[in-house]
């Protein structure tokens, strides 16, 4: 192990602290994003024109502007209106609102992809609109949106790197500071890169395991674990079933 790597590995506690902070921000922002996305998706699909308008404006404005600018506005501009947020809170808010807009569109696509036959059959069976939505549409939509939502989760994780602009001590910010002290840029930034790789792979793995647990096969994402002989591979037609 060369002297440079030893020096950089000496900063490991700071890196890990930053990684934990990044993970915390990711989880909180993702929860906020899910809430925003659900509300916005419902609003955009509702029959009330005002709701559709407000949600539409939210999604279009947020998706068509850079997230770094949004972070700056939440942290630097809102205090002029009396809203002071601590850097981490501002980061969670900005990232949550931003990815929420993207997730809203994913959710809407997922809901729309549940075939009309399902809702019609549910209505015929006497389920109310709300029951139809909660018990018939959502489980199927969830399976449809799952891979894209995991993508959005990783988008949040990588978006935390932009929070360095508002002085949040997360991985990228810490790497820049350590680099300024030691000037070992190759090792310092490789270390940061590795941390991001580890974190995003951990999150993907957790998502895959969760997907396997809550979804019946065929699973919407790659297998984790041995292939069980009972279930056909997705794409392979099953034996003809009389419906």
Window contacting other proteins (CB under 8 A); options: 16-24, 108-116, 149-157, 158-166: 158-166
Q: Give the one residue of 112, 165, 221, 224 binding other proteins; rule: CB under 8 A.
A: 165
Query: Nearer Cβ to other proteins, position 3 or 237?
Result: 3
CA distances from 8 to 1, 55, 78, 161, 181 (A): 11, 47, 37, 19, 11
CA distances from 40 to 52, 72, 196 (A): 8, 23, 30
- Total of residues contacting other proteins (CB under 8 A): 24
Q: Give the one residue of 9, 167, 198, 206 binding other proteins; rule: CB under 8 A.
A: 167
42 near other proteins, rule: CB under 8 A: no
Query: Nearer Cβ to other proteins, position 169 or 220?
Result: 169
The minimum distance between CB 76 and other proteins, in angstroms, equals: 5
185 near other proteins, rule: CB under 8 A: yes
For 80, counting Cβ atoms within 10 Å of its Cβ (0-12 exposed, 13-18 middle, 19+ buried), the class is exposed
Q: Which of 79, 93, 99, 110 has the alpha carbon at shortest distance from 25?
A: 93
| Residue 9 structure tokens | 């590995």
> 218: cis peptide before it, omega within 30°?
yes
Query: Nearer Cβ to other proteins, position 39 or 165?
Result: 165
Interactions with other proteins, residue window 61-120 (CB under 8 A)? 75-76, 79-80, 84, 87
The minimum distance between CB 87 and other proteins, in angstroms, equals: 7
166 near other proteins, rule: CB under 8 A: yes
User: What is the number of H-type helices and E-type strands within the chain?
Assistant: 10, 0
Residues 6 or more apart from 240 whose CB is under 8 A from it?
none
CB atoms within 10 A of CB 188: 24
189 near other proteins, rule: CB under 8 A: no
For 212, counting Cβ atoms within 10 Å of its Cβ (0-12 exposed, 13-18 middle, 19+ buried), the class is middle
The minimum distance between CB 195 and other proteins, in angstroms, equals: 18
The minimum distance between CB 71 and other proteins, in angstroms, equals: 12
Q: Give the one residue of 96, 100, 159, 173 binding other proteins; rule: CB under 8 A.
A: 173
Contacts with other proteins by CB under 8 A lie at 2, 4-5, 75-76, 79-80, 84, 87, 164-167, 169, 173, 176-177, 179-181, 183, 185-187
């Amino acid at each position: 192990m060369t002297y440079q790597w030893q020096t950089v590995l000496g900063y490991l506690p700071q890196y890990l602290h930053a990684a934990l902070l990044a993970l915390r921000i990711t989880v909180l922002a993702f929860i906020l994003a899910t809430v925003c996305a659900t509300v916005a998706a419902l609003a955009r699909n509702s029959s009330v024109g005002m709701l559709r308008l407000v949600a539409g404006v939210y999604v279009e404005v947020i998706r068509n502007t850079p997230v770094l600018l949004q972070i700056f506005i939440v942290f630097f501009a809102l205090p002029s209106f009396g809203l002071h947020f601590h850097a981490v809170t501002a980061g969670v808010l900005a990232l949550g609102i931003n990815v929420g807009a993207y997730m809203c569109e994913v959710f809407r696509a997922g809901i729309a992809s549940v075939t009309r036959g399902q809702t019609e059959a549910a209505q015929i069976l006497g389920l109310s609109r709300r029951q139809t939505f909660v018990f018939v549409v959502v489980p199927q939509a969830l399976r449809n949106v799952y891979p894209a939502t995991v993508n959005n989760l990783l988008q949040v994780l990588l978006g935390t790197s932009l929070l360095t602009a508002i002085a949040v001590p997360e991985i990228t910010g810490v790497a820049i500071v350590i680099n300024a002290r030691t000037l070992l840029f190759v090792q310092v930034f490789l270390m940061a890169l590795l941390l991001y790789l580890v974190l995003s792979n951990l999150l993907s793995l957790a998502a895959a395991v969760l997907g396997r647990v809550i979804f019946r096969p065929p699973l919407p994402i790659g297998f984790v674990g041995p292939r069980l002989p009972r279930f056909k591979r997705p794409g392979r037609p099953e034996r003809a079933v009389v419906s």
